[in-house]
Structure 1
Amino acid sequence: MAALPATTAVERPRNPEHGDYASTLALQLSKKVGVAPRELATALAQELGRRDGITSVEIAGPGFLNIRLDAAVTGAIARAVVTAGAAYGRNSQLAGQRINLEFVSANPTGPIHLGHTRWAAVGDSLRRVLAAAGAEVASEYYINDAGAQVDRFARSLFAAANGEPTPEDGYAGDYIGEIAQQIVAAEPGLVGQPAQTALPVFSARGYELMLAEIRGSLERFGVHFDVWFSEKALHDGGAVEHAIETLRKQGHIFEQDGAVWLRTTDFGDDKDRVLIRSNGEKTYFAADAAYYINKRERGFDRCVYLLGADHHGYIGRLKAIAACAGDDPKSHIEILIGQLVNLVRGGQPVRLSKRAGNIITLDELVDAVGADAARYSLARSSTDSALTLDIEEITRHSSDNPVFYVQYAHARIASLLRNAAEKGITRADDYDPALLAHEREKNLLKTLGEFPAVVATAAELREPHRIAVYLEERVATDYHRFYDACQVLPKGAGEPATDLTHARLWLAEATRTVIANGLDMLGVSAPERM
């Protein structure tokens, strides 16, 4: 017997006159079963036509199936959505998978800037989407607290505290002076002390204050990390040495010119990588290897890295680490690369940050547009392309503003339900789904029915922006069209609610549920009033 295809396309046709759904199953199976497509389509149409809820199946072209459903079948979608509530859209396709999702991971030497902010919005949305698809997800922030950048940070603070110019390779910006003042306020005796004595204090105190600020900025943005992992802890705890021995046992380490190397070219990397230099110093690459192995030893099935556009070179080397460790780089590690973000106002680039010198910070963006507008605007586009945000556009209260458009649909429904309550009308315990037969009602119902598939696809492809596109272009648009075409509440003050009134209230509540659930997966609020 010929095997059935792994997936069968059933989709809504562009032209509603072609039916409620269309399928190419006959075309998919024709060669496998040795039957002409149209002949097979005829047999499938006869079988489908016997099923309850299907009113007709028509054959078009070489063997397309156009399927029409009974209004009661489509109308029952509202009941399924409202009954499931907050669980609607969630699925179990990734059940049993433990995923480590690392994103942002900015150096603790300055505020979170606009580039990091895009990953904060996308990463946290992806975390929510993967969890909605049944995965056990741990969001992780890798703290780069080992290496030369921490030393430069300490020297910058030391210079600011002592009224000296910023070191040539140091960090500039008002935030350096602010942190230095906080350290001196806590330990006034530091000023004037020699660098050898003061620098360790500035390093430790500055690191604590900067990391606390980063945490606070992210929490304000609605981004919570399950794990804050210290690079320094890798070195101090012996994890780097352990990783090197693990890789050595796999047979991919060699020594040359007094250095210890990992033969990553065996697995597609453009060159072999040094783990330990000839002077005995361990490299950043050694820490990267240790970090990956540490994640796997903590029980994660898949390690997902969200990296900026300047990290393309990391793809080959990170996948090679996985292969050298004995893992399958196709299933155990995944690297997503995101493009840059530009901020404009009225078409002109936004000024540089006063506080951070040459960057726009997360806090400044939230102050300018709000967390909801910032998160939605950053998460609604594919990370494959650069993004330009216009502050005027994303703060405008009009249908041109995508986040307002979606949130307004939710608020409009909330207002409708409040108006119903004021008229003494409450949604009935049940309704007749066959009454939802208007074309606008059917379109909206079918759109609501697609939400679980949208979530599943967004999780599978790691593309949370698909949910935003669905909310904007499908749900909100179809709801506004339904509301404009279909009278939900009685017009007159004394006019009683009908069975159709209650059916449409179920549909409105189902729409509200889908919008709220979708916005929650993007980390955006669903307001009751606007």
Structure 2
Amino acid sequence: MTPADLATLIKETAVEVLSSRDLDTSVLPEQVVVERPRNPEHGDYATNLALQVAKKVGQNPRDLATWLAEALAANDAIESAEIAGPGFLNIRLAAAAQGEIVAKILQQGENFGHSDHLSHLDVNLEFVSANPTGPIHLGGTRWAAVGDSLGRVLETSGAKVTREYYFNDHGRQIDRFAISLMAAAKGEPTPEDGYGGDYIHEIAAAIVEKHPNVLDLDPAETQELFRAEGVEMMFKHIKDSLHEFGTDFDVYFHENSLFESGAVEKAVQTLKDNGNLYENEGAWWLRSTDFGDDKDRVVIKSDGDAAYIAGDIAYVADKFSRGHNLNIYMLGADHHGYIARLKAAAAALGYQADAVEVLIGQMVNLLRDGVAVRMSKRAGTVVTLDDLVEAIGIDAARYALIRSSVDSSLDIDLGLWESQSSDNPVYYVQYGHARLCSIARKAETLGITYEGADLSLLSHDREGDLIRTLGEFPAIVRAAADLREPHRVARYAEELAGTFHRFYDACHILPKADEEAAPIHAARLALAAATRQTLANALRLVGVSAPEKM
């Protein structure tokens, strides 16, 4: 019985208890909260339901808790239900009910943790979207890991997810990129506002090799050729780096297409027609303050050129026109102001502002021996995705970036993530999975199977701890999806690995050399198999491999 199953049982029992006393059952919460007590001696699970609803039904909380406890204790799945304090209820599951968790995991396999509670969502998940003017820096790398993991978590919860990369191929930064490439090809210094680094010289040389007469063309033609070829080469490198990192996209959306297709003009006209765009001093302004923004925004400048937000507005409209009912933007720390303006743009166009969510990711710093690592081999001034992967590998890089909330800045100690010790979180989790695979191989050699195992034999405290931790996985995945926080899955994997290691130290899963296989060994082998499956499921959600040997 998982915590979710227990919550359902408690609510059903509460409905029966209240109904039998002609008390109002509508006061019961939609979802009963079930938690694990901090002190295991207090029970397997606890609920404050009696405290929540007693006043609403005009009863003393302890009296209501007593009625619930008596009714729950009569259920075969409950070993005991005891009242604590002013009306808390501490519950212990019967051994057979705990064993049901193990059986459920083994039956569901890779689907354990899946649900359909977000099946109503068609999500456009836009992340990374780095300008094609240089390799992906650490901030973009963080989103590459977290965004991919969030997409996995949302899909596991039933949502339809389109992973999208917004390709910024329109605007001044692309012109600066082209001019930087031209300067490098001519052997001139990097322009004051241009891009530096070895990669600029590498791309410039590749373009000259492909087009030997490029510098003899008309200056405008030369710049356009460097722009087109340079962007294509840089974006290929970005895509290749992301693919190697385990992050791929369903859609690469070109910003320039919004202007070439007339989508920007169409969105502007829509806002003019519905009165949410007004003219002042020759410019056209969005009434964004009417929709929660701190100021109105210029959409069309007085010279007739579109402001940057014009593309944002058209892009919002395009996402909704494709049928997405939730649009998640994952942006860098310097984009906090985009939250209100993107929501305002959606509302001004006639869509629900809540159908736009903006997640802001904070900075990432690399450390070695406590000293910041600042210089990249290729990018010159920043550390890139490729640098991080080269230093600690893909699995460690992804895990290090995912396991912390994006709301806070992140320091990655390269020495820690390179180490093969229990101090390294990803090594600790992967080692747990490899150890479980080793146990399975040894069991097969010994001819021991868990088929038909009596799971009610799993009554040791460490067995109970492990079973209850396994049972929490579906709720962890659900919370990670609902809160857009995939780091919860990574942290759970660490907790599960630790709980397993403690179980392994306390309980012999397989018989010793001089022992015959007994029913308890089959039961523990089943528990080990369920743990291996759940660890693998968790690692898959963070996009990290589950090795069978280490």
* TM-score, normalised with respect to structure 2: 0.94
Residue 138 (1) aligns with residue 162 (2) = yes
What percent of counterpart residues are identical?
57
**What is the distance in 2 between the residues matched to 1:171 and 1:88?**
48
Q: Partner of 1:61 in structure 2?
A: 85
Q: CA deviation at 1:242?
A: 1.2
Q: Equivalent residues in 2 for 1:150-229 (5 A)?
A: 150-229=174-253
Residue 295 (1) aligns with residue 316 (2) = no
Residue 374 of structure 2 contacts residue 381 of structure 2 at CA under 8 Å; is this kept in 1?
no
Q: Partner of 2:444 in structure 1?
A: 421
Q: Partner of 2:71 in structure 1?
A: 47
Residue 75 of structure 1 contacts residue 437 of structure 1 at CA under 8 Å; is this kept in 2?
no
Q: 1:519 aligns with which of 513, 521, 539?
A: 539
Residue 491 (1) aligns with residue 512 (2) = yes
Q: 1:83 aligns with which of 101, 107, 110?
A: 107
Show structure 1 runs of 5+ residues with no match: none
Q: Partner of 1:70 in structure 2?
A: 94
Q: Partner of 2:4 in structure 1?
A: none
Q: CA deviation at 1:457?
A: 0.5
* Deviation per residue, 1:60-118 (Å, 9 max, x gap): 11111111111111022111111101100111110121011111111001011111101
Residue 162 of structure 1 contacts residue 192 of structure 1 at CA under 8 Å; is this kept in 2?
no
Residue 122 of structure 2 contacts residue 324 of structure 2 at CA under 8 Å; is this kept in 1?
yes
Q: Partner of 1:456 in structure 2?
A: 478
Q: CA deviation at 1:165?
A: 1.7
**Partner SS state of residue 344, structure 1:** strand
Residue 13 of structure 1 contacts residue 22 of structure 1 at CA under 8 Å; is this kept in 2?
yes
**Partner SS state of residue 188, structure 1:** coil
Q: 2:285 aligns with which of 236, 252, 261?
A: 261
Q: Partner of 2:521 in structure 1?
A: 501
**What is the distance in 2 between the residues matched to 1:104 and 1:319?**
20
Q: Supply the AA of the counterpart residue of 1:275.
A: V
Residue 277 (1) aligns with residue 301 (2) = yes
Q: CA deviation at 1:351?
A: 4.2
Deviates more, 1:482-491 or 1:413-422: 413-422
Q: Partner of 1:439 in structure 2?
A: 461
Residue 430 (1) aligns with residue 430 (2) = no
Q: CA deviation at 1:336?
A: 0.8
Q: Supply the AA of the counterpart residue of 1:499.
A: P
**What is the distance in 2 between the residues matched to 1:315 and 1:97?**
20
Q: Partner of 1:373 in structure 2?
A: 396
**What is the distance in 2 between the residues matched to 1:334 and 1:402?**
30
Show structure 2 runs of 5+ residues with no match: 1-23
Q: Partner of 1:409 in structure 2?
A: 432
**What is the distance in 1 between the residues matched to 2:506 and 2:353?**
53
Q: Supply the AA of the counterpart residue of 1:379.
A: I
**Partner SS state of residue 191, structure 1:** helix
Q: Supply the AA of the counterpart residue of 1:462.
A: R
* Deviation per residue, 1:417-462 (Å, 9 max, x gap): 112222232x232211111111100110010001000000011111
Q: CA deviation at 1:44?
A: 0.9
Q: Partner of 1:477 in structure 2?
A: 498
**What is the distance in 1 between the residues matched to 2:322 and 2:266?**
14
Q: 2:48 aligns with which of 21, 24, 49?
A: 24
Q: Partner of 2:423 in structure 1?
A: 400
Please report the RMSD computed on the Cα atoms of aligned residues, expressed in angstroms: 1.1
* Deviation per residue, 1:502-521 (Å, 9 max, x gap): 11111001001111100110
Q: 2:352 aligns with which of 322, 328, 347?
A: 328
* TM-score, normalised with respect to structure 1: 0.98
Q: Supply the AA of the counterpart residue of 1:407.
A: Q
**Partner SS state of residue 465, structure 2:** helix
Q: Supply the AA of the counterpart residue of 2:194.
A: G
Q: Supply the AA of the counterpart residue of 2:401.
A: L
Query: Size of the alignment, in residue pairs?
Result: 526
* Deviation per residue, 1:375-420 (Å, 9 max, x gap): 0000000111110000000111101111111111001101111122
**What is the distance in 2 between the residues matched to 1:415 and 1:88?**
22
Q: Supply the AA of the counterpart residue of 1:422.
A: T
